[in-house]
Amino acid sequence: MTSIYSEILASASRGEKLLCILIDPENFDNNKAEAFLKRMPQNASYLLVGGSTATAQQTEQTVEALKQHSELPVILFPGSHEQITEEADAILFLSLLSGRNPEYLIGQQIKSVPRLQFSSLEILPTAYILIDGGKESAVQRVSKTQPMSRCEVNLISETALAGEFSGKNLVYLEAGSGAKIPVGAAIISEVKKTVTIPLIVGGGIRSKEQLQEAYDAGADIVVIGTAFEGNNFVQL
């Protein structure tokens, strides 16, 4: 079976843009999984499942519900080491490189080893970089770290490259779920010029125009969560 990472690399090398739908198990009604998936953009590539404070049980049940109604691979996007389930296909193995809290640089990663060591989940080492999105994000609150300033474009791209040099396979530029301001085009294009690994961008993207702007600036993968929640979901 082709690995998810080789699919991502192949798409990025062809310039094909990917879309991930983010589902937070804490706010998701598993009984409505089928209806939810039907109204999602049909060009979505992956389902991302995770949240800052979801429990292990919530995560597992949501992945099961999604798997019942969709063929799309499910990638875990864990807010903590407890949000790991074998029901998924892969996991973003995140290190929060924008912050200086050892718990989110390596502590949670070590705690996840007993669950991952003998797991069949594909592990995707990811440099996770939180950027100011105009309001306090759950990542900021939970990790007790500050986001990087939107003005620090050089420092952001140096952080991303340090991630690549450390062996990460992906860079994720995160403005925070529900951000007022998504990661700007200048930041995305500078990081894209600097690293050779695929680039994920998410947080606060609510319209077709913002999605296209992120792609045009160099995002290989865009993650959208909040804009698909509730009854006012956007049509892309």
Q: Is 178 in the site for ligand 1GP (CB under 6 A)?
A: yes
Residue whose CB is less far from ligand 1GP, 24 or 89: 24
The SS3 assignment for 201 reads strand
Residue whose CB is less far from ligand 1GP, 169 or 226: 226
Residue whose CB is less far from ligand 1GP, 6 or 146: 146
Bridge partners of 131?
A: 148
Angle between helix 208-217 and 185-194 (nearest 10): 30
How far is the C-alpha of 67 from the C-alpha of 72, rounded, in Å? 8
How far is the C-alpha of 233 from the C-alpha of 236, rounded, in Å? 9
Q: Taking the complex as a whole, how short is the minimal distance between the CB of residue 127 and ligand 1GP, in angstroms?
A: 14
Q: How many Å separate Cα 27 from the centre of its chain?
A: 17
Q: Taking the complex as a whole, how short is the minimal distance between the CB of residue 180 and ligand 1GP, in angstroms?
A: 10
Residue whose CB is less far from ligand 1GP, 44 or 223: 223
Residues 6+ apart with CB under 8 A from 45: 11, 18, 19, 20, 72, 221
Bridge partners of 65?
A: none
The SS3 assignment for 145 reads coil
Rg, C-alpha atoms of the chain? 16
Q: Is 159 in the site for ligand 1GP (CB under 6 A)?
A: no
Q: Is 225 in the site for ligand 1GP (CB under 6 A)?
A: yes
| Cβ neighbours around 86 below 10 Å, total | 12
Q: Is 60 in the site for ligand 1GP (CB under 6 A)?
A: no
Candidate residues 174, 190, 213, 220; the one interacting with ligand 1GP per rule CB under 6 A: 174
Residue whose CB is less far from ligand 1GP, 52 or 70: 52
Bridge partners of 170?
A: 126
Candidate residues 70, 177, 192, 197; the one interacting with ligand 1GP per rule CB under 6 A: 177
Candidate residues 23, 153, 205, 211; the one interacting with ligand 1GP per rule CB under 6 A: 205
x/- map, 14-53, ligand 1GP, by CB under 6 A: --------x-------------------------------
Backbone angles phi, psi at 219, to 5 degrees: -65, 135
User: Distance of CA 140 to CAs 42, 65, 108, 134, 176, Å?
Assistant: 32, 29, 15, 12, 8
Residue whose CB is less far from ligand 1GP, 73 or 178: 178
Q: Taking the complex as a whole, how short is the minimal distance between the CB of residue 9 and ligand 1GP, in angstroms?
A: 21
For ligand 1GP, the binding residues (CB under 6 A) are 22, 174, 177-179, 202-205, 223-227
